Structures are given as C-alpha cells and as structure tokens.
Structure 1
C-alpha cells in the first residue's frame, strides 16, 4: 500500500494545492463580487479589512490554483488565515471563544495549516512553478 500511495503523492499534492486555492478563491469572489450571495458577505466594502482579505483570497487563491510562486503565496495565505481566526473568530464580544466549533473558525484553522503545509511542500509537478523550473 505504501509504495502505491507514494507513487501518487506528487500528483495528489498538485490536486491538494489546486483545490485549496479554489476554495480560497471562492471566498474572494463571494466577498468582492457578491456571488454567490452569502448574507454575511453582503455588506463587505472593498476598502475594509474583510475586503482586503477578499482581495488576497481572490488573487492569491488564483495563483495557488495555477501553482505560481506557491511557497510564498501559501505562506502569505497561511498568515492571513491565522489573522482571520484570531481577529474574526476567536473573539466574539468581550470574551474569547476557544472552541472552533463554537466560533465558526474551523475553516480558517484548516486553511491556515493547509497553506502552511503547501509553503513547505511546494506546488507539486502539475504547476506553473514546475514548468518554470524545467525551462530554467
């Protein structure tokens, strides 16, 4: 089983990178273009903290899907997701809400660590990074 799984690991890494980027990209589209309509994002202004986060998710999510500058892009997104958790989820009202199930921060934590992993693992063989490396 290990040898079979190891054979597919590089391809699955590229797929994981693409899907992570796609999921972040959808948040950017929802925040900035209001599609699909998500009530929480309905009043997001472009020049607000959430609007800036949406811009990062849109642009860097697209770069992650393409596998362009994967390590740097994933590192920045990992930091953004950590920031999002501590600013947007952990503190509800005056007291911290420590449990991600209660503060709706599960996705932010998962994105943070998925991007942290991608910042160390790279984009995989099916990426613009790999194509650019081959040409150099």
Structure 2
C-alpha cells in the first residue's frame, strides 16, 4: 500500500499546488478587479491602486497565485507569497488578538503555511517547471540500475 501511495505523491502535490494557487489568485483578483465578491471590507469593491499594503498584497496574490497554479517558478513564488501572508498576519490580524479565530487571520495563517510547504515540496507533477527544466541523472545511475536505490537512512 505504501509503495502505491509513494508513486502517487507527485500527483497529490501537483493537485494540492493547483488548488492552493487557484484560491490564492482568486483573492488577488477579487481585490484588484472586484470579481468574486470583491475585496474584503469594501462591500464588493476593489483596493485603490498603489495603496499600502492592500494593493501590493493583491498583486502578489494574483501573480504568485497564477505562478503557483501553473507550477512555474513554484518555489520562489510560494516563498514570496508565504512571506506576504506572514506579514499580513502579524501586522494586520495578530495585533487584534492572539488566536486566528479571534482576529480574523485564519486565511492568512493557512495560506502562509500551505505556501511554505510548497517551497519545500516543489511543484510536484503537472507543473510547467518540468517542461523548462531538464532533469538529468548522473552517468553512474544511467549505467548501473543498482545505483538508483536510495542510500540507507534516506
């Protein structure tokens, strides 16, 4: 059972990346364009262009969300996006109360950790990163199938 689950891991990570990227991009699109209910706290409106930090956060959400969704520069985009959500949590939400349930920062905290996970896992399967990066194995692995085995303790 475990071996079957291990072979599905890249696809599970890829689907996870797509969902997180889509949801993150939707937040940015809502704030910038007033779609999907608009920016939170604006009664369906948009964030004024150039305002700090809302407009810049929305641009990061839209751009990084699309990049994560596509699996293009996933690690860098996820790192920037995760950092922006950590900033949002600690500067906007956390001063109001300690716990996310009390301060309205659940989505910031969840996006922060979800995106940080993608920094370490990468794009998984189904990402454009794989089209642009050629994965090569060392020559010893190509000649000797026994060299492909994972080292002990890995």
Normalised by the length of structure 1, the TM-score is 0.90
Which consecutive residues of structure 2, in runs of 5 or more, have no partner in the other structure? 137-154
Tell me, yes or no, if structure 1 residue 45 matches structure 2 residue 48: yes
Q: May I ask how many residue pairs the two structures share in their alignment?
A: 132
Normalised by the length of structure 2, the TM-score is 0.80
Which consecutive residues of structure 1, in runs of 5 or more, have no partner in the other structure? none
Q: Provide the residue aligned with 2:108 in structure 1.
A: 108
Question: Which has the larger helix fraction?
Answer: 1
Q: Is the Cα–Cα contact under 8 Å of residues 33 and 46 in structure 2 kept in the other structure?
A: no
Q: Which has the higher contact order (CA 8 A, sep 6+)?
A: 1
> CA offset at residue 135 of structure 1?
8.2
> CA offset at residue 43 of structure 1?
5.1
Q: Which has the larger radius of gyration?
A: 2
Matches within 5 A, 1:88-127: 88-92=92-96, 97-127=97-127
> CA offset at residue 134 of structure 1?
3.1
1:68 to 50, 53, 72: 72
Q: For residues 135 and 117 of structure 1, do their structure 2 counterparts lie closer, same or farther at Cα, with a shift above 3 Å needed?
A: closer
- Cα deviation per residue 1:72-112 (whole Å; 9 max; x = unaligned)? 111111100100101121113xxxx0011111111111111
**In structure 2, C-alpha distance between the alignment counterparts of 1:26 and 1:63, rounded to whole Å:** 13
